[in-house]
Amino acid sequence: MRICMIGTGYVGLVTGCGLAEFGMKVTCVDKVTEKIAMLKRGEIPIYEPGLKDLVEKNVKEGRLSFSTDIPEAIRNNLVVFLAVGTPSDDGGGADLRYLFDAVDEIARNLNGYKVIAIKSTVPVGTAKRVSRRIAGRVEGAAFDVVSNPEFLREGSAVEDFLHPDRVVIGTESEQAIAIMKDIYSPLYLIETPFVITNNETAEMIKYAANTFLAAKISYINEVANICELVGADVHVVARAMGLDGRISRKFLHPGPGFGGSCFPKDTRALYHLAREKGYDPALIGSVIRVNENQKTRMVEKVKRRVGGDLSGKVIGVLGVSFKPNTDDIRESPAIFVIQRLLDAGAKVQAFDPAALGEARKVFGDAITYAANAYEVAQGADAIVLMTEWNQFRSLDLQELKGRMKTPVFVDTRNVYDPRKMEQAGFAYEGVGR
């Protein structure tokens, strides 16, 4: 089976490469020439564990290639996947500009029956809009639009692709279902559950799943904030809650609020969509608000610990990516916190194992970039741990303290044990304990 993947961002690249690993012949295309040039040189534009080896292997074995010739790739392939970005628009909805640009390119190059599989996260109703758009442009066009949402987590995307919890296929066309099942047949063999439904339901599944996970995080963050007021330990609360199989332990880790390219955008998009249809989604609105407030609370913790005034204070920030094992800083709580610290007149010195290059694009010379965690501590009035990279889990506390002006440690990911930190001589504060 021959597949074309339009968009070689995070989702497109991992999916294209994963499908090649399943034995498909995949051409990944993008209009950003520099990105394609990098991939052709064997360089990976994003930080994702395991991806480089998989790309290398599939290129070498002749199943994976890269190109900027989008028209040719559409004409040469039976299945065209769409994995272009759908960022938030000004009103909080999804901006479908890139998606419709790609769809128009497909319409111009439709040289026979094609399956158009939408991987990008799109508002419910988009697949039908895509169908109408192509039908309106090409008389007698033969194609099916399949909604095939992705559930990849950054940092473990390769593993998630090869061993997913489920595959969702949204279409009412028997022919398209058969083609999609064929593409994912290696998963069929390992008994991965397949959910086959209509386009709207498949589109809704993606938003409902992401919003539910985001809701779990906002819920535990809210519980953590209450724990702080009543002297309870949120970790024990979360663990005991999670032992109830109906609740499950996953996604009950309190922190500085969820970030990344998905949860913030998707919760806003579902909220926006519901309101557009005349329904006020009160719970989803609260999930978003709790998350915004949580980020601000982290800044307040630091401010309180340095005596109520951040002006002129040196704050060391450990981690800027929105989670470990990625260089992605989109909507990272760390970026929000650093900006607020700067606004309040603090001097920020930050370190991240992968994302300092991205941080530099945002902050330029406004902050100092440290070479390691200990440099972050140099002369600092406080350290704030924002991302739970493994290398921050076993820092030499005495070395760290020795370099600081005052040993204040705000741990927004609850990586350290409060008692041990106090024994080590730190004024320590976590979240909800």
The interface region with ligand UGA, picked from 48-56, 138-146, 250-258, 391-399 by CB under 6 A, is 250-258
Report yes or no: 386 and 337 within 8 Å, Cβ to Cβ. Answer: yes
Using an 8 Å Cβ cutoff, are 11 and 120 in contact?
A: yes
Task: Restricting to residues 319-358, name those near ligand UGA by CB under 6 A.
Answer: 322-323
> What gap in Å lies between CA 74 and CA 25, rounded to an integer?
13
- Beginning with the edge strand found earlier in the chain, give each strand of the sheet holding 368-369 in spatial order: 368-369, 347-351, 314-318, 382-385, 408-411, 427-429
What is the nearest approach in angstroms of ligand UGA to the Cβ of residue 284?
15
Question: With respect to ligand UGA, which residue has the nearer C-beta, 46 or 138?
Answer: 46
From the list 106-114, 209-217, 223-231, 310-318, the region that binds ligand UGA by CB under 6 A is: 209-217
DSSP letter at 173?
-
| Closer Cβ to ligand UGA, 58 or 210, answer by number | 210
**C-alpha radius of gyration, the chain, whole number:** 23
Q: How far apart are CA 84 and CA 7, in angstroms?
A: 5
Cβ burial, residue 419 (10 Å; 0-12/13-18/19+): exposed
Query: Between 199 and 210, whose beta carbon lies closer to ligand UGA?
Result: 210
262 is catalytic: yes
**Least gap, CB of 193 to ligand UGA (angstroms):** 15
Between CA 89 and CA 25 the distance in angstroms is 34
Is residue 150 involved in binding ligand UGA (CB under 6 A)? yes
Q: Please, what is the minimum distance in Å from the beta carbon of residue 129 to ligand UGA?
A: 21
- Report yes or no: 161 and 15 within 8 Å, Cβ to Cβ: yes
Contact code string over 40-79 relative to ligand UGA, x by CB under 6 A: ----------------------------------------
> Which of 202, 262, 314, 380 is in the footprint of ligand UGA by CB under 6 A?
262
We find the least distance from the C-beta atom of residue 266 to ligand UGA, in angstroms, to be 6
Q: Which is nearer to ligand UGA, 77 or 121 (CB)?
A: 121
**CA distances for 119 relative to 80, 126, 218, 312, 347, angstroms:** 10, 12, 26, 47, 42
**295 scored as a contact of ligand UGA (CB under 6 A):** no
Nearer to ligand UGA by Cβ, of 3 and 152: the residue is 152
Query: Which residues are near ligand UGA by CB under 6 A?
Result: 121, 150-154, 210, 213, 217, 251-253, 255, 258-260, 262-263, 322-323
